[in-house]
Amino acid sequence: MQRRTLITAAAAGAFGLALPVAHAEVTDLSDAINKAGRQRMLSQRMAKAWLALLQGVEPASAQQVLDKSMLLFERQLAELRAFAPSAEIQTTYGKLEGAWTDYRTALVQATPSRAAAAGLLQLDARVLALAHQGTQQYEATLAKPVGKLVNIAGRQRMLTQRMAKFYLAAVLPMDADVATTEISKAREEFTKAMGVLRNAPEATARIRDELNLADAQWVFFDMALQKQRSGYAPGKSMAEVFVSSENLLTVMDRVTGMYSALRG
């Protein structure tokens, strides 16, 4: 498929939060792992959208991504805290609520600026760490192999957004060496995890079909990420990274949902 066709296909479905509408409540522990993992992704997706707005990258789409991600994060946070089956998990989500309050304030209090970027990334890192802690706790509570697969698939969503976020930070430029290192680490983790998901005994034919689609989208996303080092026009490369990260995210969210629906 030609590059322009891939961009068009992504733009058609990615920017309206093409992720499934969250349930009104957490239905079971597998669903909790899915939603808890999605909070990790949203922490990075919001920072990506904020950096895109700062640099004028797909501004209308970036604003929509930011607004809808904030609403979804807020709703899922309430659901996960209400569902928490232990005091330990309740404590984690109490801390996450406090970290989210600070992060949300930074996201909305002023127009994105270079001066505020470093502080914003520190806040998103805190939210990510606590969201990951909650996901791990829910996985441990379920204590079944499928829970680990839901966690791994869900983390893939986060990695797509983390790579795109650091790409936009590097172009800013802001801590370009750190950003490049983080992209490299996330790329390695992502590719290894795809093999784990594909080779899992629990993987159904439908899951493998979606993973094949994700592989195709990953090629395009990875090509866009590598343009930072090749002298490609920054504005165009940033737009391609933004769009392709959304497209890959949509596929990986479907995969996570499929693993979450398994019982075992």
Backbone angles phi, psi at 112, to 5 degrees: -55, 135
Q: What pTM does this model have?
A: 0.91
How many angstroms separate the most distant Cα atoms in the chain? 52
Q: 220 and 189 in contact (C-beta within 8 Å)?
A: no
User: In which region does residue 211 sit, left (phi positive, over 0), alpha (psi from -120 to 50) or beta (all else)?
Assistant: alpha
> Residue 53 has what pLDDT?
97
Whole-angstrom distance, CA of residue 29 vs CA of residue 203 = 19
> Which of the four pLDDT bands, split at 50, 70 and 90, describes residue 260?
very high
Q: What pLDDT sits at residue 89?
A: 98
**For residue 131, pLDDT beyond 90:** yes
Structure confidence at residue 16 (pLDDT): 44
Contacts with 69 (C-beta within 8 Å, 6 or more apart), sequence order:
17, 42, 45, 46, 49
Give the pLDDT band (50/70/90) at residue 229: low
Sign of CA dihedral 143, 34, 244, 232: negative
